[in-house]
A = this chain, B = another copy of it.
């Protein structure tokens, strides 16, 4: 991929079909360069969906409010937030009341209209509560039954499409909702991947603190140019990155180009799509 291909919004067509781009920005990423690039994409007429998490903001707020937080490790080594009912309340506050309005303000400051949505808006994302979660603690597997995490069952992108048709950027995040209206936590990478599938997007980019999937977490130069299903089989991909890769792999079945890349970068979206991050593909990258 030629370096100049990443230089302008029009050049994006070389990287992926003209269609919807779904960008997930992690809480550990400086949002300014992402919002700058989203602004360019919208100006170029490219429909763009912004998805966000808010783990760091939620952790801060949990500490301020005295709500205990815990990370659980599943038997396959995936690490997740333990979502007690109190933590779900904190997450909802942080995602909808802090992170999302900051992103909307940032878009507005750049002359872009955004609309904040969560899974509970317009029946956008329906999930079912995971009845039991397995966690490995001190080498033993324990069962957690009161967790408020959801498995995404259905995505109805009607509302997102409607917003996109009016040149407005949907700014989407957890929580999601079950069919009875109960809020549930969901992984933001999974939300982004699911939305990309439901929208038949041409690209999905997961932006994070590191520059892609690293073979050695402490060594940026160990970035893998591409990952596939076999990378999940071993323990090369660890911790929270497993969520991203798993979600990205699933989306890659239908989404033209899927990449995990560094957010703290000039034009991070095109940088990741043009090979500056890690491409994720069930087969081989076209």
Contact = CB atoms under 8 A, between A and B. Distances in A.
Interface stretch (A100-108, A141-149, A276-284): A100-108
A169 B137 CA distance: 45
A273 interface: no
Contacts of A175: 101
Contacts of A107: 181
Contacts of A65: 64-65
Interface stretch (A26-34, A91-99, A218-226): A91-99
A68 interface: no
Contact of A122 (B100, B106, B109, B168): B168
A30 B266 CA distance: 49
Contacts of A55: none
| Nearest 8 interchain pairs by C-beta | A97-B97, A108-B181, A93-B97, A109-B181, A105-B181, A96-B97, A104-B120, A115-B121
9 contacts: A65-B65, A105-B120, A105-B181, A109-B180, A114-B121, A116-B116, A116-B121, A122-B168, A158-B166
